[in-house]
Structure 1
């Protein structure tokens, strides 16, 4: 195994969502696995694993899960979505009070955090799916709470069409994107349907895609086309690469061997040909509703993430590991 990179930034981790599911991320990984209440996924992420990988900053989500046939505990209305997000916000604050994380709200705070070297994990709050907002007028509350990035969609929300749920921005969605633009809140395009994406782009949203692979290799509206990747890059944005086999190899399912890190490197090369290496980063989404069983072969635990970097051109490894996200965070956060 190669040595961990000197700086790793992960664009997408569902830390508080996993804590609400009953996972204690302050434990060592073996201890967590031995008592994990999530029995159908093998955990890969703990604070110790992130530190061992060299991770200094991540985007930590506030993720409200809607009710589906597979998720009967999910929300059915705005109040339920808001409660989930507030519960997760409280979790990040409790972790911060205990010294496990440091919430970062500005580029200056990111710079100071990284300059300090050792210390807790830096977390930038990202709302994944905007249903926790009562309406666009609720945005200042969440900005005041530290949210700096919002993805209007997951599947379909009250604001936008999303993954496997085609559709444009709603009237409220257009108001929200405009308010985000005016309050310096970045839009996460990862789950937006094409129609919503292009409307948001026309409204002048500053965009990133915290966790989205290349549609040229895995079809579907969950991933970015070359044109969409270029639109993100045109705002100065970064695209984070996802460590999920179904998002890495088209048609993959659990009856097959896991997708390889070389398959993921193909997504990086595809994007690099479209927008250049300076607009690529990591957005692993590890333990984001899947475990080791669906992670790429060779990633048995989070500290294995840096193995991926060895498959990239040497001159661009540090940028993809965290340098590109660092540049974006210190300029735009």
Structure 2
């Protein structure tokens, strides 16, 4: 089994009009976008991806303001629920759901989805955390770029007073914190305030990326990575070429696969191989050409085991995230 801790499935289906129920080859023939798609539900099954952290991600440029974001996120959630009714996925809302899924998955290959809010603008006010939890949301990332709750990518800043309230509501409701996209100031403030389960679903070590303006606060400092270890957290490596090598730009050749190995190894040296996993972000605003060479479909995630010591390979591919989920799910 492979666990992928970050995929924008509903965004791709609803905002880009991609029918993710199709085989990947068929979607590629039909898809009009310049970014070649990498993920469909059949491709996840064929690739042995058994658990996905599936986002409710609402593009603030397309859906400005909390009301618009709220409606868009509800539509995304409804899609996941419809897929579940159709037997295409299983939503994992509890540890019991996870264990039942793991017992059934070898026979049927149905992907299990853990629902994650990425960028919390769709939570119109902190008191709505309980509503979203009741709908099945189990993680919230307060930032994407800056939100009403926190500074984020390219837009630095700490937690706002509303952000402090959001974290308290998450703590009370037992919803986990995804620190990906949080500005470092907001990260440290969050760790002071939030004592629940936390992780970085799709972030890379800043030390390998330099201080490029468009990356400087998107990823994790060494101190942030060590702090996640101290709090029982995980780091999922994101596989976008620009987040692996800051000199890469669209139109350049795809990076060699060993660049992912450098990021995996760097994080493992700080916190151990037992706290490292994958958060591919496949099709998260980029497509096939934005991935390292050889990562053309979900099945190719298994290739990354070649850069992991043999004793830890299954941990990085799946077991580390499964262990974290057993502690984070109610």
Q: TM-score range by the shorter chain?
A: over 0.9
Alignment match, 1:23: 18
Q: Are 1:51 and 2:45 matched, yes or no?
A: yes
Is 2:186 the counterpart of 1:175?
no
- Partner residue, 1:71: none
Residue 89 of structure 2, aligned match among 79, 101, 113 = 101
Distance, in Å, in 1 between the alignment partners of 2:46 and 2:221 is 34
Per-residue deviation, residues 273-292 of structure 1 (Å, max 9, x unmatched): 11101100110000111100
Cα RMSD of the aligned pairs, angstroms, is: 1.0
Q: Is the contact between residue 49 and residue 298 of structure 2 (CA under 8 Å) also seen in structure 1?
A: no
For 1:13, the equivalent position in structure 2 comes to 7
Offset of 1:143 from its aligned partner?
Answer: 0.4
Report how far residue 106 of structure 1 moved. Answer: 0.9
What corresponds to 2:55 in structure 1? 61
Corresponding position: 1:154 with 2:144: yes
1:187 to 166, 177, 181: 177
1: distance between equivalents of 2:13 and 2:107?
24
| Residue from 243, 258, 265 that aligns with 1:262 | 258
Cα deviation per residue 1:52-107 (whole Å; 9 max; x = unaligned)?
2211111000001011xxxxxx1121101111100100000110111101111111
Aligned to 1:3: none
Cα distance in 2, alignment partners of residues 84 and 259 from structure 1: 34
Map 1:1-333; keep pairs closer than 5 Å.
7-20=1-14, 21-37=16-32, 39-67=33-61, 74-116=62-104, 117-119=106-108, 120-205=110-195, 206-219=197-210, 220-333=216-329
Q: Are 2:257 and 2:292, in contact at CA under 8 Å, matched by a contact in 1?
A: yes
Unaligned runs of 5+ in 2: 211-215
Q: CA deviation at 1:312?
A: 1.4
| Partner Cα separation in structure 2 for residue 45 and residue 255 of structure 1 | 21
TM-score (norm 1): 0.94
Contact (CA 8 Å) 2:146, 2:152: kept in 1 or not? yes
Contact 1:261/1:296 (<8 A) preserved: yes
Would you say how many aligned residue pairs link Structure 1 and Structure 2? 320
**1:286-309 residue CA offsets vs partner (Å, 9 max, x unmatched):** 011110011011112222121111
Output the CA distance in 2 between the equivalents of 1:88 and 1:250. Answer: 32
Structure-2 separation of matches of 1:148 and 1:197: 19
Contact 1:244 1:294 in 2 (8 A): yes
C-alpha separation in 2, matches of 1:103 and 1:118: 17
Q: Give the secondary structure class of the aligned counterpart of 1:154.
A: coil
TM-aligned CA deviation for residue 332 of structure 1: 1.7
Is the Cα–Cα contact under 8 Å of residues 140 and 175 in structure 2 kept in the other structure? Answer: yes
Distance 1:142 1:79 in 2: 15
- Distance in 1, Cα, partners of 2:228 & 2:85: 35
Question: SS of the counterpart of 1:118?
Answer: helix
Which deviates more from structure 2 when the two are superposed, residues 276-285 or residues 252-261? 252-261
Between stretches 256-265 and 161-170, larger displacement belongs to: 256-265
After TM superposition, the score normalised by the length of structure 2 is: 0.95
